[in-house]
Structure 1
Amino acid sequence: MLVGIAAGTVAGLLANQLAGGSEGLQWGVTNLTLPVGRIFIRLLLMLVVPLLFAALVMGVCELDMKQLGRLGVRTIGYTVVFSAIAVALGLVLVNLIRPGDGFNPEALQAAQKNPLALKAAPPPSSASPVGFLVAMVPDNPLRAAADGDMIGLIVFSLLFGAGLAVTQTPATLRLRETIQGLYDVMMRLIDGVLRLAPIGVAALLFSVTADLGAGILKNIAAYVFVVVLGLGLHMFGVYSLAVRFLGGRNPLGFFRDVRLAMVTAFSTASSNATLPTALKVAEENLQLPNHVSRFVLTAGSAMNQNGTALFEGVTVLFIAQVYGVQLSMGDQMVVMFICVLAGIGTAGVPAGSLPVIMMILGLFKIPVEGIGLILGVDRFLDMCRTTLNVTGDLAAAVYVARGESPSSASPESPAEPSV
């Protein structure tokens, strides 16, 4: 990946300096590097619908419905509120700092005129709040998926997962195994596609830097600064307040106790891989009741993705600024809403948020190939946002555990967490 990033960036900058604007360079970009990069993007887009459906359904139906009562309401409420805060914080920062400004305005026109441009998903059918709420519920989920109506697909997937969770028959158990199998296959395909990332990233970065020159590097550095600043403010600001006032604990002591889980999350960039360490930290260092830590952390590894939601919102607005696509306040509210919902289904694995970002880009007619701008720095940002995700799960467990006691665990609670 590093070789691909370096090769694509350096070659693109040299081409821009030596042959910028020439017909030969434009032919090479249009007929060679851009198609290779677009094929890489299309391979990822191809997997979005089945991956999103399977991840959302499994994320909901794997919740222990017997304990969903008090614990579930508090956990889901915390997840929605703090995910919304995270996305709102990211949107405020990206609007204030505007890391994507300063690009050549012809970049958007070139992307729109290019015959290889990807087909954008349709925009929301109504701008009014009532119309938007009505449009959220699809009359035909298959048509919603085919038309790119991802909001409708998300709503259907959440309802389907809830129905699957409360329907316990031999047939639904087999159906659950089938959907889990679909999810496993999609993740294996995603892993295979990402193995081609060095070639795809090199082609995308060459195409972008050959057209836009060295100015892109300044904007990417500003983008990284905005994401890291937002993650840092949310972790050490919002979570400190949550732990102190909702969990009744000293924030300094909390961060000291969870540092092992934070380091593991940063090094693996995977919420799922960090789950065993997070459970150990919650039960041994934070001294939380077992049934609370197992329920909240297991659900949170799939659903409580504050860092991912913030990252997705910032990335969408950054790429929109790069290509000169103006998003109204209403559009940004829709972006925030989708990011919060999609956080429930974002895979807790490295690069798991990229398909969701591409879906949102298509929804608002933002050139999807702009994802190539951030692929070079995504690994580092993935490590940072995963650290925030895991820390948020532990902060949620501290909040939910307040007022609980070990004796309140259900006698039927499993000895080991279900993953």
Structure 2
Amino acid sequence: MKIKLHWQILIALILAVIAGLVTGTDGTLFGIHFYSVYAFLGTAFLNALKMLIVPLIISSIITGIAGIGGGGNLGRLGLKTLTYYMVTSLAAIMIGLMMVNMIEPGIVDGTPAGEIMSLDQGAASGVAEKVSGKSGSDVIEIFLRMIPPNIVSAAANGQMLGLIFFSLLFGYFMTRIEEPYAEAQYNFWQGLFEVMMRITEWVMKFAPIGVFALVAKVVATSGLDAFRPLAVFFFTVLAALAFHFLITMPLLLKFVAGVNPMRHYRAMAPALLTAFSTSSSSATLPLTMDCVEKNAGVSNRTTSFVLPLGATVNMDGTALYECVAAMFIAQAYGITLDFATQFTIVTIALLTSIGVAGIPAASLVAITIILAAIGLPAEAIGLILAVDRVLDMCRTSVNVFSDSCGAVLIGRMEGEKNILLEEGEKQT
């Protein structure tokens, strides 16, 4: 019987702790240092993730935006849907930013956690110089970076904000050219996206090995002390996700859609449990649509547009997680991020959440983009791999619930009367 990926990662995590404690930094076998093996395997896994960034993000954003813009969908329904997705994603990010600034999981006893987590403090020294002395006026630079003078150079140098902006424009105007050319372009980018999804799924099969190597390397160097800040980070993310799931979304359902939030929780229970167990909003989509239509009473017209679009571009939980993870890593390196840099994180988290594939652990790719944008080493992502799987399950449930709330809210705004009513209340 094949063991599911999340169980493989959990087993790898346990074995990594044991191996790191047993071998330390000096353990050898046939003259080969275990620590060197951990470093090699961990670096190889991170390089594989970084290899996916440019083609995956560009192809997913272009096909997603082209899908919205095609077929006359950018009308009233499309505008409402996109507005809802942007507002809720931004709200989720701000909740995450508030929580991580308030709790400061990357600070232990008043000092950066990087030292006890065996981080290379020199790797981030250049970032401290870069961000020091900035003010709110530096936000202008963010918008300038959105328009790269050379798109190929931007891709080569990891300037993802410009690539994302270019992809948004390309996807939109791709639907404004003559049909034969538009279809050929769409088929090309959709084909590239499908290939990148397959490669991402293949790379994630090696996630247990990557987790083992990265965690074993940290434990070999610092022992179990490294898990204290990681536990605080874990509960910081959970608290932020719970706030969005239990407070923000019900308030929208109650006061904007005018429906009973508890009824919607009951209606969506099967889809939420499936999302939690699979960590994939794409895999859960058929069940999400079934629950929203049959249990919540939203029309097929609204459901068939809002939910597939949401599975592509609406990732509230993912955007929140990306923001908290980037801030946690910056705190662990001892870097104080000013308003301009935090605004950069918020902006990129919002934009990259559009391009995150709806498969397990795909947000790891997006986090590397944020780290690169603020100058932190991508290797720092190894800090959060140990707890990423459980958080992935939680944030996927938030993603799916937000999509379903969007369908309910937009259905009500479109004048639908029988949404989330009991049998005796339904109107004919």
**TM-score with structure 2 setting the length:** 0.86
Q: State how 1:211-250 maps to structure 2 within 5 Å.
A: 211-250=221-260
For the residue of structure 1 that corresponds to 2:175, the secondary structure is helix
Please state if 1:4 is matched with 2:15. Answer: no
Any residues of structure 2 matched to 1:104-115 within 5 Å, and which?
Answer: 104-105=114-115, 107-109=118-120, 112=123
Deviates more, 1:270-279 or 1:163-172: 163-172
Structure 2 residue matching 1:166: 3-state secondary structure: coil
Structure 2 distance, partners of 1:110, 1:329, is: 23
Structure 1 match to 2:390: 380
Tell me how far apart the structure 2 counterparts of residues 346 and 289 of structure 1 sit (CA, whole Å).
Answer: 27
Q: Secondary structure at the match of 1:327?
A: coil
Distance in 1 separating the partners of 2:222 and 2:378? 17
- Alpha-carbon contact 1:111-1:367 (below 8 Å) kept: no
Among candidates 47, 53, 61, match of residue 48 of structure 1: 53
The 5 Å alignment of 1:134-153 reads: 134-153=144-163
Residue equivalent to 1:360: 370
CA distance in 2 between counterparts of 1:283 and 1:104 reads: 48
Q: Is the 8 A contact 2:145 2:162 kept in 1?
A: yes
| Secondary structure of 1:207 counterpart | helix
Equivalences for residues 65-214 of structure 1 within 5 A? 65-102=71-108, 103-105=113-115, 107-109=118-120, 112=123, 128-214=138-224
Q: Point out the more displaced range, 269-278 or 30-39.
A: 30-39
In the TM superposition, residue 127 of structure 1 has moved relative to its aligned partner by: 5.7
Distance 2:205 2:323 in 1: 26
Aligned-pair identity in percent equals 38
The secondary structure found in structure 2 opposite 1:162 is helix
CA distance in 2, matches of 1:32, 1:212: 17
Match of 1:303 among 308, 313, 335: 313
Tell me the residue number matched to 1:35: 40
Q: Distance in 2 between matches of 1:101 and 1:403?
A: 45
Superposed, which structure 2 residues align to 1:261-340 within 5 Å? 261-340=271-350
State the 1:24 CA deviation: 7.9
Partner of 1:60: 65
Report the Cα offset of residue 108 of structure 1: 4.2
User: Cα gap change, 1:235/1:28 in structure 2, threshold over 3 Å: closer, same or farther?
Assistant: same
Distance in 1 separating the partners of 2:142 and 2:367:
21
Which digits, 9 at most, give the CA deviation of each residue in 1:276-297, with x for residues without a partner?
1111112111111221111111
Deviation string for 1:319-356 (max 9, x for gaps)? 22222233222211110111111111110111111111
Contact (CA 8 Å) 1:204, 1:369: kept in 2 or not?
no
Q: For the structure 1 residues 152 and 31, does the alpha-carbon distance in structure 2 shift closer, same or farther, using more than 3 Å as the test?
A: same
Larger displacement relative to structure 2 (69-78 or 7-16): 7-16
Alpha-carbon separation, structure 2, partners of 1:105 and 1:379: 25
Q: Is the 8 A contact 1:258 1:391 kept in 2?
A: yes
Shift of 1:81: 1.2
Please tell me whether the aligned partners of residues 267 and 296 of structure 2 are also in contact (alpha carbons under 8 angstroms). Answer: yes
**Contact kept in structure 2, 1:323 and 1:367, CA below 8 Å:** no
Report how many residues are paired: 395
- Give the Cα separation in 2 of the matches to 1:241 and 1:210: 47
The correspondence for 1:253, drawn from 242, 248, 263, is: 263
Stretch moving more, 280-289 or 102-111: 102-111
1:110 Cα deviation (Å)? 5.4
The separation in 1 between residues aligned to 2:164 and 2:66, in whole angstroms, is: 14
RMSD of the TM alignment (CA)? 2.6
**Change beyond 3 A, Cα 1:142–1:127:** farther
**1 CA distance for matches of 2:274 and 2:122?**
40
How far does residue 104 in structure 1 lie from its aligned partner after superposition? 4.7
- Equivalent residue of 1:46, what SS? helix
Alpha-carbon offset, residue 48 of structure 1: 0.5
| 2:3 corresponds to | none
| Greater CA drift, 259-268 or 383-392 | 259-268
**Structure-2 separation of matches of 1:304 and 1:376:** 25
Instruction: Provide the rounded CA distance (Å) in 2 between the counterparts of 1:325 and 1:195.
Output: 33
SS in 2 for 1:258: helix
Q: Give the structure 2 partner of residue 413 of structure 1.
A: none
